[in-house]
């Protein structure tokens, strides 16, 4: 595979060709990370939704495999598409799918039925219906068999939500060891509700509780998950974090999709949000708002790996936005995945805050490094030797008035010498906001909302340092502020003639600046 087209990510996953959306069925099994994803085997826009499949042993180098669940009827008239879902290993063979001691992998996903039909199970479904089905693999995730004897295992939403059969989707399943039960969290999307089901065998499911609406309720709720995390590393103080996609209804300033999180508790049947779980607002004029996992426009359908050690969680999300996903200027593929992010919970400013840290082993791709420190960066712009298209660069600087008089400081990437093209990543000292400005980032013409600036609230550390870690790839920036308490992810589509990097210090000088960069090679070929 040659992965060198303009805009082709060099260390983020993309399928060789065709459309991709949500990550699905993330599972670490026998030393292998499996990434399935919403995939159109036949083209560059959404359709024929199947589960594509890729694997990795280091979350950096991925190998694409044949489609794992091919839309039923494809390439003819579709009778079932395989929407978003999850995979678990079933080592105790509770499902009975395992034979001769094989550990079955079991997937639960949303069946979308384009037409009314009677299924092999004898169950009848209506055109447009979404229902939950299961499939299993006896070869460690490479080939799958749908459970036709009984699918869909959860055909309709329960009373009083029966009328929501068109918007009942995205089951997140996991093993809850304390109650020795499987849990499935399913979204009743239009009502901003999550339903929690339990099961002892992955086949029969019992409704246990419901949660929501709460906090951000724009658009529909999709792709939920709930994960346990120790607060401040204290395993006697375990919180549960619900991650929920909203489309549209993303963070302030984002048109289209976004992902919120809600910190709470879970006892095996009920998720209860902690009181007052709101974040500082990203603009000083707005009241406190929901917790956004990412303040950028391109971080959706975040999913978390099953199969990692207890309390260890890694996320991957779709780096795109339904607002313009179908028209981004890439070919022959469309859409990339985020870098894998380790998530943890830390008390910051008196609140339990989700911390995200990039976990892919990008250091293994390092070709060169560049480090520099400046007691003071004078007002204006200054070229730095990072004329590159793939970087892992950390920039830190002081907000202290004694050393910094500027109003904004940051780094410009993918710039032409006249700055007609540039992506600005910086910090605004007076409003205490991290920002990514992609308004001149290259090709911005395919969508009227694309050329924008995105802001995240970020307090300097107690020593006055502001830190931003930026992962630059050929068509994206993922920016982590502070310890990772805020992130901004944004696609960019720059022309190849603009690769310069500059520091900018606006309205004054900036002190105690350090730059630590790894120049990355390609994970492909
Ligand atoms: C989220 C989503 C899911 C659905 C899938 C269909 O991006 O809309 O709710 O299962 O995409 O591809």
Torsion of CA 492, 416, 433, 505, to 10 degrees: 170
Q: What is the average per-residue pLDDT within 25-37?
A: 98
Sheet holding 50-56, edge to edge: 63-69, 50-56, 32-39, 18-29, 333-334
Q: What is the distance between the alpha carbons of residues 495 and 498, in angstroms, rounded to a whole number?
A: 6
Residues 342 and 402 both lie in one domain = no
Q: Is the pLDDT at 278 greater than 90, yes or no?
A: no
Q: What is the distance between the alpha carbons of residues 118 and 131, in angstroms, rounded to a whole number?
A: 14
- pLDDT value of residue 216: 92
Best substitution site from 45, 50, 84 to test ligand 1's pocket, by max atoms within 8 Å of Cβ? 84
Q: How far is the CA of 171 from the centre of ligand 1 (A)?
A: 11
Q: How far is the CA of 202 from the centre of ligand 1 (A)?
A: 22
Return the ligand 1 atom nearest residue 85 CA. 10
Q: pLDDT per residue over 423-460, tens digit each?
A: 999 999 999 999 999 999 999 999 999 999 999 999 99
Q: What is the average per-residue pLDDT within 51-79?
A: 97
Residues 182 and 53 both lie in one domain = yes
Domain boundary among 323, 358, 393: 358
Bridge partner list, 388 = none
Return the ligand 1 atom nearest residue 83 CA. 10
Domain boundary among 358, 389, 413: 358
Return the ligand 1 atom nearest residue 322 CA. 7
Best substitution site from 223, 245, 300, 325 to test ligand 1's pocket, by max atoms within 8 Å of Cβ? 223
Residues 378 and 479 both lie in one domain = yes
- pLDDT value of residue 1: 65
Query: Closest Cα to atom 12, ligand 1: which residue?
Result: 83
Q: Is the pLDDT at 408 greater than 80, yes or no?
A: yes
Residues 405 and 378 both lie in one domain = yes
Strand, coil or helix: 327? helix
Report the percentage of the chain scoring pLDDT > 70: 97
Q: How many helices (H) and strands (E) in the chain?
A: 0, 37
- Which phi and psi angles does 225 have, rounded to 5°? -155, 155
Q: Which residue has the tokens 């960019």?
A: 492
Kindly indicate the confidence band of residue 282, based on its pLDDT and cuts at 50, 70 and 90.
Answer: low
Per-position DSSP letters for 333-398, written without gaps between them: EE-EEPPPEEEEEEEETTEEEEEEEE-S-GGGGEEEEEEEEEEEE-SEEEEES---SSEEEEEEEE
Q: What is the average per-residue pLDDT within 123-136?
A: 98
CB under 8 Å to 219, separation ≥6 — which residues?
246, 247, 248, 249, 257
| Residue 342: both structure tokens together | 């380790």
Residues 347 and 400 both lie in one domain = no
Return the ligand 1 atom nearest residue 222 CA. 9
Q: Is the pLDDT at 284 greater than 70, yes or no?
A: no
Best substitution site from 152, 169, 221 to test ligand 1's pocket, by max atoms within 8 Å of Cβ? 169
Return the ligand 1 atom nearest residue 130 CA. 10
Query: Closest Cα to atom 9, ligand 1: which residue?
Result: 222
Radius of gyration in angstroms for the set of CA atoms belonging to the chain, rounded to a whole number: 23
ipTM value greater than 0.95: yes
Catalytic residue chosen out of the listed positions 22, 294, 428, 437: 22
Q: Is the pLDDT at 350 greater than 90, yes or no?
A: no
Q: How far is the CA of 31 from the centre of ligand 1 (A)?
A: 28
Report the percentage of the chain scoring pLDDT > 90: 95
- pLDDT value of residue 376: 97
From residue 108, alpha-carbon distances to 84, 132, 135, 186, 409 in Å are 9, 7, 7, 10, 47
Residues 40 and 151 both lie in one domain = yes
Q: pLDDT per residue over 297-344, tens digit each?
A: 999 999 999 999 999 999 999 999 999 999 999 999 999 999 999 999
Residue 5 lies in a domain: no
Residue 33 lies in a domain: yes
The binding-site residues of ligand 1, defined as CB within 6 angstroms of any ligand atom, are 21-22, 38, 49, 83-84, 110, 169-170, 222-223, 301
Q: How far is the CA of 10 from the centre of ligand 1 (A)?
A: 26
Q: How far is the CA of 83 from the centre of ligand 1 (A)?
A: 6
Residue span of the structural domain in which 253 resides: 18-358
Overall domain count for the chain: 2
Q: How far is the CA of 49 from the centre of ligand 1 (A)?
A: 10
Return the ligand 1 atom nearest residue 110 CA. 10
Residue 4 lies in a domain: no
Q: What is the distance between the alpha carbons of residues 512 and 155, in angstroms, rounded to a whole number?
A: 60
Residues 101 and 198 both lie in one domain = yes
- How open is the CA angle 214-216-220, to the nearest 5 degrees? 95
Q: How far is the CA of 222 from the centre of ligand 1 (A)?
A: 7
Q: Is the pLDDT at 286 greater than 90, yes or no?
A: no
Q: How far is the CA of 404 from the centre of ligand 1 (A)?
A: 46
Residues 113 and 128 both lie in one domain = yes
Residue 525 lies in a domain: no
Q: What is the distance between the alpha carbons of residues 241 and 294, in angstroms, rounded to a whole number?
A: 15
Residue 12 lies in a domain: no
Q: How far is the CA of 23 from the centre of ligand 1 (A)?
A: 10
Please choose, from the candidates 486, 502, 511, 348, the residue with its C-alpha nearest in 3D space to the C-alpha of residue 429. 511
Torsion of CA 72, 78, 83, 89, to 10 degrees: 0
The answer to whether residues 357 and 480 touch, using CB atoms and an 8 Å cutoff, is yes
Return the ligand 1 atom nearest residue 189 CA. 9
Q: What is the average per-residue pLDDT within 356-364?
A: 88
Residues 407 and 444 both lie in one domain = yes
Q: pLDDT per residue over 33-50, tens digit each?
A: 999 999 999 999 999 999
- pLDDT value of residue 361: 78
Domain boundary among 358, 390, 405: 358
Best substitution site from 43, 48, 50, 222 to test ligand 1's pocket, by max atoms within 8 Å of Cβ? 222
Q: What is the distance between the alpha carbons of residues 40 and 51, in angstroms, rounded to a whole number?
A: 8
Q: What is the average per-residue pLDDT within 233-256?
A: 96
Residues 307 and 431 both lie in one domain = no
Classify the phi-psi angles of 359: left when phi > 0, otherwise alpha if psi is within -120 to 50, otherwise beta.
alpha
CATH of the domain at 81: 2.115.10.20
Residue 6 lies in a domain: no
Residue 447 lies in a domain: yes
| Residue 380: both structure tokens together | 């204006």
Q: Is the pLDDT at 212 greater than 70, yes or no?
A: yes
Q: Dihedral of CA 395/399/402/407: which sign?
A: positive
Q: What is the distance between the alpha carbons of residues 511 and 189, in angstroms, rounded to a whole number?
A: 48
Host H or E run for residue 163: none
Q: What is the mean pLDDT of the chain?
A: 96
Query: Closest Cα to atom 6, ligand 1: which residue?
Result: 83
Q: Is the pLDDT at 489 greater than 70, yes or no?
A: yes
- pLDDT value of residue 362: 84
Kindly indicate the confidence band of residue 210, based on its pLDDT and cuts at 50, 70 and 90.
Answer: very high
Residues 277 and 156 both lie in one domain = yes
Q: Is the pLDDT at 285 greater than 70, yes or no?
A: no
- Which phi and psi angles does 365 have, rounded to 5°? -95, 0
Return the DSSP state at 151. Answer: -
Residue 61 lies in a domain: yes
CATH of the domain at 480: 2.60.120.560
Residues 152 and 245 both lie in one domain = yes
437 flagged as catalytic? no
Q: What is the distance between the alpha carbons of residues 353 and 284, in angstroms, rounded to a whole number?
A: 19
Q: What is the distance between the alpha carbons of residues 395 and 501, in angstroms, rounded to a whole number?
A: 13
């Amino acid at each position: 595979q040659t992965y060198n087209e303009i805009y082709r990510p060099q260390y983020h996953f993309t399928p060789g060709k065709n459309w991709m959306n949500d990550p699905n069925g993330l599972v670490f099994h026998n030393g292998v990370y499996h990434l399935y994803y919403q995939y159109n085997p036949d083209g560059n826009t959404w359709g024929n939704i199947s589960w594509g499949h890729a694997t990795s042993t280091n979350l950096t180098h991925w190998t694409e495999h044949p489609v794992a669940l091919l839309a039923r009827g494809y390439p003819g008239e579709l009778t079932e598409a395989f929407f978003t879902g999850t995979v678990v290993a079933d080592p105790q063979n509770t499902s009975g799918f395992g034979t001769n001691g094989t550990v079955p992998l079991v997937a639960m996903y949303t069946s979308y039925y384009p037409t009314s039909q009677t299924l092999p199970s004898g169950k009848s479904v209506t055109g447009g219906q979404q229902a939950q089905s299961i499939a299993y693999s006896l070869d460690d995730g490479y080939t799958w068999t749908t459970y036709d004897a009984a699918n869909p295992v959860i055909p309709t939403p329960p009373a009083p939500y029966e009328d929501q059969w068109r918007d009942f989707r995205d089951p997140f399943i996991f093993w809850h060891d304390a109650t020795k039960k499987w849990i499935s969290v399913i979204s009743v999307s239009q009502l901003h509700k999550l339903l929690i089901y339990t099961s002892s065998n992955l086949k029969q499911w019992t409704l246990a509780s419901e949660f929501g609406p709460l906090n951000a309720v724009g658009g529909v709720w999709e792709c939920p998950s709930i994960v346990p995390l120790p607060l401040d590393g204290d395993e006697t103080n375990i919180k549960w974090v619900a991650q929920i996609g909203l489309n549209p209804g993303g963070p302030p300033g984002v048109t289209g999709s976004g992902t919120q999180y809600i910190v709470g508790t879970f006892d095996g049947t009920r998720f209860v949000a902690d009181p007052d779980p709101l974040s500082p607002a990203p603009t000083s004029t707005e009241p406190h708002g929901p917790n956004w996992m990412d303040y950028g426009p391109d971080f959706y359908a975040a999913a978390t790996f099953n199969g990692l050690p207890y309390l260890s969680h890694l996320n991957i999300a779709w780096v795109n936005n339904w607002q313009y996903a179908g028209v981004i200027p890439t070919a022959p593929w469309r859409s990339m995945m985020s870098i894998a992010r380790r998530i943890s919970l830390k008390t910051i400013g008196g609140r339990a805050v989700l911390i995200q840290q990039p976990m892919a082993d990008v250091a293994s791709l390092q070709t060169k490094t560049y480090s520099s420190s400046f007691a003071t960066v004078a007002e204006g712009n200054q070229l730095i030797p990072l004329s590159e298209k793939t970087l892992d660069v950390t920039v830190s600087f002081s907000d202290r008035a004694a050393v910094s008089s500027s109003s904004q400081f940051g780094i410009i990437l993918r710039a032409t010498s006249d700055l007609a093209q540039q992506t600005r990543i910086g910090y605004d000292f007076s409003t205490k906001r991290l920002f990514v400005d992609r308004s001149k980032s290259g090709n911005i013409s395919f969508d009227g909302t694309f050329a924008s600036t995105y802001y995240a609230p970020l307090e300097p550390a107690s020593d006055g340092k502001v830190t931003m870690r930026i992962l630059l790839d050929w068509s994206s920036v993922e920016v982590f502020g502070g310890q990772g308490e805020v992130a901004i992810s944004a696609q960019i589509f720059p022309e190849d003639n603009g690769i310069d990097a500059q520091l900018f210090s606006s309205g004054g000088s900036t002190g105690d600046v350090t730059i630590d960069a790894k120049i990355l090679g390609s994970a492909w070929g």
